[in-house]
Amino acid sequence: MADVLISPSILSADFAELGAEIRRIDEAGADMIHVDVMDGHFVPNLTFGPPVIEKLRPHTRKPFDVHLMIAPVDPFIEDFARAGANILTVHPEAGPHLHRTIQAIRGAGMRPGVALNPGSPVSLIEPVLEDIDLVLIMSVNPGFGGQSFIDSQLHKIAAVREMIDQTGRDIILEVDGGLNPKTAPRAIDAGVTAIVAGSAVFRGGPDQYADNIAALRPS
């Protein structure tokens, strides 16, 4: 089994000490840092934007895997690049010109990703698969941590796995929402190469982070 990237979502971290939390998950073995940006409009919750990400940047050298749940996206792309985002993932429903958005993300020096909500069809990514570096399958409806994994998304993961393999390109297939030591192996069997987990990483406090991350990796 190929290595799987673990991308802890700081949505479940202690927001009063985010810098320290990022250093802890870095030391605990995180491969990337998943950063959920929400605008209270595209999803029914609010988090933070580029100024906070910029302040967090010096706390780790691991890639910032930034998941935008905002609309519109385009006016903020340069700000996220300057703040230090490495991967910038957008939802196709966030704007009318997905291909232009992807070009702008690449043009700003970041790796573009596209996220599919549980109710969104795989056909949305087909026209842009040659242009992106990551596909994010949402296995919960976006907006909140701590929700249950939606089993029907396993079929979607398998379908996207086939599409990616046909391109011959090295595209990360990431899954986000409800991942824990029970659901992660099922997503990995279906073909993901990256696991996002919030509550399953941060539960139990800092002493548990390393064990929690290890428990998500294929045994």
From first CA to last CA, the distance across the chain in angstroms is 9
- Under the binding rule (CB under 6 A), the answer on residue 175 touching ligand DX5 is no
- The residue (of 67 and 156) whose beta carbon lies closer to Zn ion is 67
- Considering the rule CB under 6 A, would residue 67 count as an interface residue with ligand DX5? yes
Number of Cα atoms under 13 Å in the Cβ half of residue 167: 20
Residue pair 92/114 in contact by the 8 Å Cβ criterion: yes
DSSP labels, 102-171: HHHHHHTT-EEEEEE-TTS-GGGTGGGGGG-SEEEEESS-TT-SSPPP-TTHHHHHHHHHHHHHHHTS--
Question: Between residues 103 and 186, which has the closer beta carbon with respect to ligand DX5?
Answer: 186
Beta carbon of residue 191, minimum distance to ligand DX5 (angstroms, whole number): 19
Q: Which two tokens stand for residue 5?
A: 């990237």
Catalytic entry in 3, 65, 176, 207: 176
25 is a contact residue toward ligand DX5 (CB under 6 A):
no
Residues that bind Zn ion (CB under 5 A): 36, 67, 176
Is 176 considered catalytic here? yes
Give Cβ neighbours of residue 83 (< 8 Å, ≥ 6 apart): 50, 51, 53, 54, 57
**Burial tier of 114 (Cβ tally within 10 Å: 0-12, 13-18, 19+):** buried
Site for ligand DX5 contains 145 (CB under 6 A): yes
Q: Which stretch binds ligand DX5 (CB under 6 A): 51-59, 162-170, 191-199, 206-214?
A: 191-199
Task: Tell me if 44 contacts ligand DX5 by CB under 6 A.
Answer: no
Q: By Cβ distance, which residue is nearest to ligand DX5?
A: 198
Find the binder of ligand DX5 among 198, 209, 212, 216 (CB under 6 A). Answer: 198
Q: Does 183 bind ligand DX5 (CB under 6 A)?
A: no
Query: Is 36 a catalytic site residue?
Result: yes
Catalytic site residues?
36, 176
